[in-house]
Amino acid sequence: MDKQKIFFYIVKRLVLSIITIFIITTIVFFLSQIIPGGPFEGVKNLTYELRQIKGKIYGLDKPIYVQYLLYLKNISMLDLGTSISQQGITVTEIIYNSMKYSLYTGTASALIAIIFGIIIGCLAAFFNKKIFDKITMFLTVLTMSLPLFFISCLCNKTLSGFFSSSGVSRFILPTIVLSIPPLCSIIRLTKSSVIDVLNTNYIKAIRARGISEKNILFKHALPNAIVPVISYIGPTFADIITGNVIIEHAFGIPGVGQSYINFISHRDYPVVMGMTIFFTFIIVGAILISDIICAIINPNIDFN
């Protein structure tokens, strides 16, 4: 393993990630400027003079380029601004208060999907074209073909009586439902990747030495087949923990996804822009980490 190549690869990926975040930040800012209407459109009994005063408080009276530079400066200092619809509350506080719910359900869902997805995918590859594989693939394809809102409503109507509506129990059902789409994808990806590795000459040579199929699967095939799975897990994990509006709405969870939609409807631009940048950091960071892990565990990766 060439450590120098890995180091330069990580540096290159870090630079590309920073550029990506900068571009998205710029796009988000200027899109917020061209959206019809203003941040005070939905506020009732607000006179023209009060709107001007509020505009000065939030720096909306300055030229766009000045607002943009101040925006970049504040972000570099980790200051995402203050909410317009909820006066006195910072965007960071809003993200923290809603993110803790999404993080709880998202992390648990991701762990369920990753652990069971890899195990079931390996077993489906091990019993390829047998009854276990056929049933698994049928259920996987069937579940993936159903819209998530249908699964959410179905589980909410039929299974909600088995779980308490308060405390930790209220998160069990949405956690399970949220884990279903990535679970099915990981099963299919793991199975196809493991089968590809099992058909290589390397595995055939190991099999000729009399090593058991169980050891071949978990000690030799899986470590080589896990790279594409990790590449998928990175952005998927970020997508799960940043909130799912359908799940949060169906089960009444005040997560970050639900909050994001609410603040969009209230035209609270500082919160919308702050949450968008926060999501960007999470997704870009997750992709970066998964790429670095793949580069470390796979010495045959093309660093160019």
CATH topology of domain 98-265: MetI-like fold (1.10.3720)
Residue range 248-271, pLDDT digits in tens: 777 777 888 888 888 887 777 888
- Give the per-residue pLDDT at 90: 87
- CA dihedral of 275, 278, 284, 287, whole degrees rounded to 10: -90
For CA atoms 102, 103, 108, 114, give the dihedral sign. Answer: positive
Q: In whole angstroms, what is the distance from residue 78 CA to residue 271 CA? A: 14
- Non-local (6+) Cβ contacts of 184 within 8 A are 117, 140, 143, 144
- pTM score above 0.85: no
Most confident of 2-6, 54-58, 177-181: 177-181
Using an 8 Å Cβ cutoff, are 239 and 224 in contact?
no
Q: What is the pLDDT of residue 194?
A: 87
Domain ranges of the chain: 98-265
63-90 per-residue burial string, b: 16 or more CB within 10 A, e: under 16: eeeebbeebeeebeeeebbbbbbeeeeb
Q: Among 51-55, 93-97, 233-237, where is mean pLDDT lowest?
A: 51-55
Is residue 186 within 8 Å of residue 121, measured between CB atoms?
A: yes
In the predicted structure, residue 68 carries a pLDDT above the cut 90: no
User: Minimal CA–CA distance to 248: which of 197, 177, 164, 163?
Assistant: 177
When mean pLDDT is compared over 7-11, 40-44, 189-193, 214-218, the highest value belongs to: 189-193
Say if residue 213's pLDDT is above 80.
Answer: no
Q: Characterize 280-298 residue by residue with b for buried, 16 or more Cβ atoms within 10 angstroms of its Cβ, and e for exposed.
A: bbbbbebbbbbbbbbbeeb
Q: What is the structure's pLDDT at 52?
A: 67
Looking at residue 295, what is its pLDDT?
A: 76
**Confidence bin at 41 (pLDDT 50/70/90):** low
